[in-house]
Amino acid sequence: MSPIIPPQLASPQFKANPYPFYARLRAEAPVYRITLPTRQVAWLVTRYDDVLALLKDERFAKDRFSVLPAGQRAKPQWIPGLLKPLARNMLDLDGSDHMRLRALVHKAFTPRLIERLRARVQTLCDELLTTVQANGGIDLIREYALPLPATIIAELLGIPVADRHKFQAWSSSMVSVSSSGDLLRALPHLWLFIRYIRALFAQRRATPRDDLVTALVQAEEAGDMLSEDELLAMVILLLIAGHETTVNLIASGTLTLLQHPEQLERLRENPALIKPAVEELLRYTSPVELATERFARADLTIDGVGIARGEQVLAVIGSANRDERQFVEPDKLDITREPNRHLAFGQGAHYCLGAPLARMEGQIALTTLLDRMPNLRLRNAPEALRWRKGLFVRGLEQLPLAF
């Protein structure tokens, strides 16, 4: 067998079709050591059962600092000044700290409360498509897939309409970070983002409103529940995570359906299939390709491979969702697939809080798009489409369509 040549995981070229590489890893090296664009070394875990176990395994920490030896933990951890306020974010904490922060926002994302947003999501989909109806074409991301979830999460938080385009640009810059050079280029965007959110906190303290930012500010003022840095990190995380996954679900899902006309026609003929269709698109496209970092709390093994304490491990959701050991014909799109225990939203304590919202937005957005634009088609060949640079998420830069 020829040696496995590690690709540039964050490159647009790899993102265009990462699945052959993942299939080879599952077959030959299911726990694979790789150097990331950040020059950090990490283990890629690629088989479904291993990924599922890893996402639930308490032997792995999200907080890198917590796995250091006691002597190193006692030393102050150096973090660039601008990034320090974001270190206390929900994604990077474990145990009681994670549960405390998660509980503060959980009530905003229950299925019952998300269902109340259904009419607003439908109205917004119709408004966005009406705006472009006379143009004969659409950049699906810029004019539909992005503004829909970005507007909804901004409305939940209480971001003024006039300012929403700002955080979309800042968010895109931050999500694309995969190397130290990318981070340096993103720092001005991050500085503007932080300054904006701090000013918003001041406004809500002076004039409370019926929105999530006000509720979080009041929790911080009550003491113990939320520190100032945790408040800032929470809102920035919600703004980014609250729309990034859904943008990629809608855009990549539309592209996938257009590339599988028999499945598209099946969905058009029976719109009631939209729920299983969205689940299959989540599996097939894996909008979040890699789960965020985990660190071994002690020396251990995965699939017979030794992982040393403190080493970084990445669960490859995009590979697990195409594992032939779990899914029949995993590279085939089947919008009626059952069962479909995909891992697109993760598992365990860090399961995606916004999963009910993303599902609902995806279902309404795709149903409305296919209903209102029966002649939807690609403007460019699929191989001409450019994928976004980035390690953890997989999504298109643009998706030009004609109708």
- The 3-class SS string of the chain reads CCCCCCCCCCCHHHHHCCHHHHHHHHHHCCEEEEECCCCCEEEEECCHHHHHHHHHCCCEECCHHHHCCHHHHCCCCCCCHHHHHHCCCHHHCCHHHHHHHHHHHHHHHCHHHHHCCHHHHHHHHHHHHHHHHHHCEEEHHHHHHCHHHHHHHHHHHCCCHHHHHHHHHHHHHHHCCCCHHHHHHHHHHHHHHHHHHHHHHHHHHHCCCCCHHHHHHHHHHCCCCCCHHHHHHHHHHHHHHHHHHHHHHHHHHHHHHHHCHHHHHHHHHCHHHHHHHHHHHHHHHCCECECCCEEECCCEEECCEEECCCCEEEEEHHHHCCCCCCCCCCCCCCCCCCCCCCCCCCCHHHCCCCHHHHHHHHHHHHHHHHHHCCCCEECCCHHHCCECCCCCECCECCCEEEC
The pLDDT, as a whole number, for residue 69 is 72
Q: Which region among 96-110, 158-172, 188-202, 245-259 has the lowest average model confidence (pLDDT)? A: 158-172
pLDDT, residue 180, reads: 66
Is residue 365 over pLDDT 80?
yes
Confidence of residue 109 (pLDDT cuts 50, 70, 90): confident
Stated length of the chain: 403
Categorize the per-residue pLDDT at 81 as very low, low, confident or very high, splitting at 50, 70 and 90. low
pLDDT at 80: 59
pLDDT at 240 > cutoff 90:
no
Segment 49-55 mean pLDDT: 98
Question: How would residue 226 be classed by pLDDT, with cut points 50, 70 and 90?
Answer: confident
pLDDT of 293 strictly over 60 = yes
Q: Confidence band (pLDDT; 50, 70, 90) for 303? A: very high
Domains parsed from the chain with CATH numbers: 80-289+328-402 (1.10.630.10)
Rounded to an integer, the average pLDDT of 69-90 is 66
Query: Which pLDDT belongs to residue 176?
Result: 66
Residue 16 is predicted with a pLDDT of 97
What mean pLDDT do residues 332-345 have? 98
Quote the pLDDT of residue 335: 98
- Reported confidence tier of residue 356, pLDDT bands at 50, 70, 90: very high
Of 36-40, 45-49, 240-244, least confident by mean pLDDT is 240-244
The yes-or-no verdict on residue 83 having pLDDT over 80 is: no
Mean pLDDT, rounded, for 325-346: 98
Q: Which residue has the higher pLDDT, 149 or 240?
A: 149
Percent of the chain with pLDDT over 70: 94
Task: Round the average pLDDT of the chain to a whole number and report it.
Answer: 91
At residue 375 the predicted structure's pLDDT band, cuts being 50, 70 and 90, is very high
Categorize the per-residue pLDDT at 152 as very low, low, confident or very high, splitting at 50, 70 and 90: very high
Task: Report the pLDDT averaged over residues 156-177.
Answer: 78
Lowest mean pLDDT among 170-179, 228-237, 295-304: 170-179
pLDDT band at 70 (very low <50, low <70, confident <90, very high): low
